[in-house]
Amino acid sequence: MNPNLKEQFRKIGARVKFVFVDAEERIGFTRVKQPPASLDVIEDKEGEIFQINIRRDVSNKLDLSVLEVLPKDKHLVLLARQLDDDGKTISKDHFLCGHDERHLFVAGVDKVSTVAAAKASLKPAEIFSQEIGVTNEKRNRRKTKVFKRQGEWFFTPANIEPKPTLILKDEPLRRNNRSKAHIAEFAYRSGGEEVRVCSQFPNGLTQEEYKTLIADNPKAKYFNWRNMKRNAAVYAKGKIRHADHATVHLDTWHRVLMNTERFPENITVVFLD
């Protein structure tokens, strides 16, 4: 591992520590293989800190390096490479680390080497098609003529007018059931899949999957289930609130789009509301 990593993180005003983890982790009722390296933002007695989780069984074959650091922008791109016995690369994972409003954040990104490219890789395809004429400087702002952004969510104007009876109030927007919800003052959804969600099955089960589970394990009927929509087209209006971000105000209806953060293979990304 690169001994200068702590100094690179210091350049963006952040601390970093390393933790060795087991090869497998229990998620729900199954055990899944951990990626060679993963990142979290945690808190200790001094405040927020980046934690790099390194799989113990590959620690001596893992190379961590910073591809670009922008002290003024307070962002960097970290590359984690797993090597074989001959020093050849088996896998690569790229992470964008930095500051977003009030807190540190980390996001898995495409195979890019610059901060600008990493930020661009997080934007939904629907955003790119509307950014003609927007300067590079403005594209990375949280508010442009194309969108408003709050954390991982983008809001882009939509020409719709839903029936009042279909409008939901104080609707949670979440990537999956493990993430902290953003709350939309008014929301409207179209389509999507009805699923049952609980802490043991954070991404939801279809009705058929739920029936199969109950048949195999009758006690599962007493899990704290709730009905949700998975991957519906969602629109929002009014205030969008979240404890970690400044409130976003939407005067008209906007389509809600999730960023394109990359996740390890054992984590499923869905849109639950």
DSSP symbol at 216? H
Res 268: pLDDT: 41
Over residues 46-99, the pLDDT tens digits come to 999 999 999 999 999 999 999 999 999 999 999 999 998 888 999 999 999 999
Q: How confident is the model at residue 273 (pLDDT cuts 50, 70, 90)?
A: low
Cβ proximity of 182 and 153 under 8 Å: yes
DSSP symbol at 262? -
> 169-208 in b/e burial notation, b at 16+ Cβ within 10 A?
eebebbbbbeeeebbbbbbbbeebeebbbbeebbbbbeee
One domain, residues 116 and 183: no
pLDDT at residue 40 is higher than 50: yes
One domain, residues 58 and 101: yes
Q: How confident is the model at residue 29 (pLDDT cuts 50, 70, 90)?
A: low
One domain, residues 160 and 102: no
Over residues 107-134, the pLDDT tens digits come to 999 999 999 999 989 988 888 778 777 7
Over residues 141-196, the pLDDT tens digits come to 788 888 999 988 999 999 999 999 999 999 988 876 667 889 999 999 888 888 88
Average pLDDT value for the chain: 87
**201 found inside a domain:** no
Distance, first Cα to last Cα, the chain = 41
One domain, residues 118 and 154: no
**Structural domain of residue 154, as residue ranges?**
150-192+231-258
Enter the tokens of residue 31.
């055990």
One domain, residues 49 and 112: yes
- Tally of CA atoms within 13 A in the half-sphere of 32 that contains its CB: 12
Angle at 128 between CA 101 and CA 96, to 5 degrees: 40
Over residues 192-219, the pLDDT tens digits come to 888 888 878 877 888 899 899 999 999 9
**244 found inside a domain:** yes
Q: 96 in helix, strand or coil? A: strand
- Which of 106, 122, 138 is the last residue in one of the domains? 122
- What CA–CA distances, in Å, run from 145 to 47, 132, 153, 184? 35, 11, 16, 21
One domain, residues 69 and 170: no
